[in-house]
Amino acid sequence: MNEGPKSRIRLKFARLEPAKDFTHLEQIKALRSRAAASGLKFQPARVGGASVPRMAFGPAISVGHESLCEYADLFLEEFVREESAREKIQAFDDANFRLLAARRIPVFFPSIEAAVNAVEYFLEGTFPAGFSQASLDVFAALKNLPYEKVKPSGERKMLDARAPLLSASWDACARPPGTCAGLLKLTLRLSPGRNVKPEIVAELMAAGRPELRRITRKEFYWQDSQGKLVVF
């Protein structure tokens, strides 16, 4: 009789540049493969008729984005020290994913999806002429900004592009001269069904499409009882 998991290890991965075009499902498959090959005694789950490690994953990441905060909870049938789990999973680090941390958490604990309230992004690139911190301040002062989201299926949905923004800052580069090249940092609230991609927020702030070289999901946050955002 299955008595349930004895350990739950929360794994944190970096999604590196070669993996930025993975879909969320492709990423899940890659991370499950590491857990299956690690030698850890995982609790099995049935997916598509196959037996795979029971795992729970963080919010889906967009194709084209890198990340320093990809989370996966691994459920095990025996007690495992987090140092041992880290060593066994880290052995599969490659050009696509690198393990950043592994820690034991209570077996019965809120899911990553339920706990995360906000996410920070770093967007590197060249923005339309005139873009500055003042552009961010103008956007932040808006009460709302209607935005029509068009899904790949063709379905259309109206969203408020201002609502997710919690904070923003702009670090301009000195080079190349005559351009607005730099780093835009955005912290966006996560609200199922109402999320707006960071590149869309950046485009609306700049009143034109920036040439983005890199988008990195930097950190997740949860909100404490005082409303303060705390690193996940």
Q: What is the pTM of this model?
A: 0.91
The tokens for 217 are 């999901």
Confidence of residue 2 (pLDDT cuts 50, 70, 90): low
CB 212 within 8 A of CB 132: no
Q: What is the pLDDT of residues 16-63, one digit of tens each?
A: 999 999 999 999 999 999 999 999 999 999 887 778 999 999 999 999
User: 77 or 181, which is more confident?
Assistant: 77
> Which range has the worst mean pLDDT, 6-10, 39-43, 151-155?
151-155
Cα dihedral 142, 148, 151, 155, rounded to 10, equals 140
Instruction: Note the pLDDT of residue 9.
Output: 97
Residue 3 clears pLDDT 80, i.e. is over it: no
Compute the chain's Rg from CA coordinates: 20
Mean pLDDT for the chain?
A: 92
- Residue 169: how many CB atoms within 10 A of its CB? 11
Phi then psi for 154, rounded to 5 degrees?
Answer: 100, -10
**Distances in Å between the alpha carbon of 141 and those of 29, 121, 196?**
42, 20, 18
- Residue 223 amino acid letter: Q
Confidence of residue 75 (pLDDT cuts 50, 70, 90): very high
Secondary structure class of 2 (helix, strand, coil): coil
Query: Residue 230 — pLDDT band, cuts 50, 70, 90?
Result: very high
Mean pLDDT over residues 179-185, rounded?
A: 83
What's the pLDDT score for residue 180?
66
pLDDT grade, residue 140 (50/70/90)?
very high
Q: Tell which residue, 59, 60, 74, 61, has the closest CA to residue 112.
A: 59
Q: Assess whether pLDDT exceeds 60 at residue 67.
A: yes
Residues 6+ apart with CB under 8 A from 147: 158, 159, 160, 161, 196, 200, 204
